[in-house]
Structure 1
Amino acid sequence: MVATLSEIRALLGDPRFNWSDPAPWIELEQELGVEFPADFREIVDAYGSISINGQLYLNHPAGHLLHSLGKDIRLDLDFWREEDMAEFLPSPVGPNPGELMPVATATTGEAVFLRVPDDPSSPWRVVVQEMDSPAWTLYEMTFSEWLLAYLKGRDVTLCSRNRAPDGPSYEFLP
């Protein structure tokens, strides 16, 4: 079951970005050749480019130069396609079925990917790669389910308990 924005809002707080123009998403998706999952788009449209618990960074495609989802994805695709980095992931990065699309980072060294489903009717899954080791974890959950688990302090590779002792919070990226 896909977690809902209202469940995330109950833990993270009310969103203040509330983007409604689909143009940046359409442009980015056409450039990359992939359509992002609706739950990911809904969360990013609601909150914009933010830092969650001072640890997890999400960016919006309409973000400025410092915090642009498109810019970050392009840089991350180049980085993870390098021969010596590709071995740290379970599959190649890119827009094709089974490939990984980099969508978020963490101050603690993790990279968060969405795994493009093999079948268009299948859900996207989350893969988290730990930069300080060659380890990665596939989570059989949608992005919203994974984010909700993170906000609840569950171990989804990024652990928020020590970063959010008073509960989850976010702030806009400068």
Structure 2
Amino acid sequence: MASLDDIRALLGEPRFGWSDPAPWHRLEGELGIVLPDDFREFCDAYGPVRINNQVHTAHPGVAHGNLGRLIRADIEAWAHAPEEMVTQPVGTGPGELFPWGSAASGETMFFRVPKDASEAWSVFVHESDEGEFLEYAMSFGDWMLAYVRGEDVGVCSRNFAPEGPFFQPIG
């Protein structure tokens, strides 16, 4: 499993450095789930961020780039999307997908909520061009490391970061 150090080695030193778990506990209480540790660790380190001028992630502890607002707004938008576009259940219940990030190229990144404690989290990407959900049976950290390496994980960074991976804080 990829670590934050693996990602940091390619992406650069984070500058956000959040350490208060209270916003995470509030958000998880509202959603009724506990988010993956590696996702929380990444967001606490990098905060609301744009990676390679393409992938956007958020954080629950800030007003601008707030993860809770992003999740709720995206779930609401998917509830009103054309039926043929929503081929996976979107929400925060077991087996459902909930959004955690987006890309300037039109993709939305999701986690599938495990159906039980023995099941691992997986990453899904809704490709805007193809209109389909692609599953990546890997942790958030593995997915993010593959992305910053330039591998095609539903969102490919090569065109957006030809000189190598970089990030910009949002806010």
Taking structure 1 as the reference length, the TM-score comes to: 0.94
**Percent of counterpart pairs with the same letter?**
49
Match for residue 92 of structure 2 among 87, 91, 95: 95
Q: CA deviation at 1:88?
A: 2.5
Match for residue 161 of structure 1 among 158, 161, 164: 158
Q: Mind listing any 5+ residue stretches in structure 2 that lack a counterpart?
A: none
Number of residues of Structure 1 aligned to a counterpart in Structure 2: 171
CA distance in 1, matches of 2:75, 2:38: 22
CA distance in 2, matches of 1:118, 1:172: 34
Q: Mind listing any 5+ residue stretches in structure 1 that lack a counterpart?
A: none
Q: CA deviation at 1:83?
A: 5.4
* 8 Å Cα contact 1:91/1:98 also seen in 2: no
SS in 2 for 1:62: coil
Match for residue 113 of structure 1 among 110, 113, 121: 110
In the TM superposition, structure 1's runs of 4+ consecutive aligned residues that sit over 2 Å from their partners are: 86-91
Within 5 A, what are the aligned runs for 1:53-64? 53-64=52-63
* 8 Å Cα contact 1:25/1:61 also seen in 2: yes
* 8 Å Cα contact 2:88/2:133 also seen in 1: no
Partner of 1:33: 32
Q: CA deviation at 1:155?
A: 0.6
The answer as to 2:168 corresponding to 1:171 is: yes
* 8 Å Cα contact 2:109/2:126 also seen in 1: yes
CA distance in 1, matches of 2:139, 2:86: 19
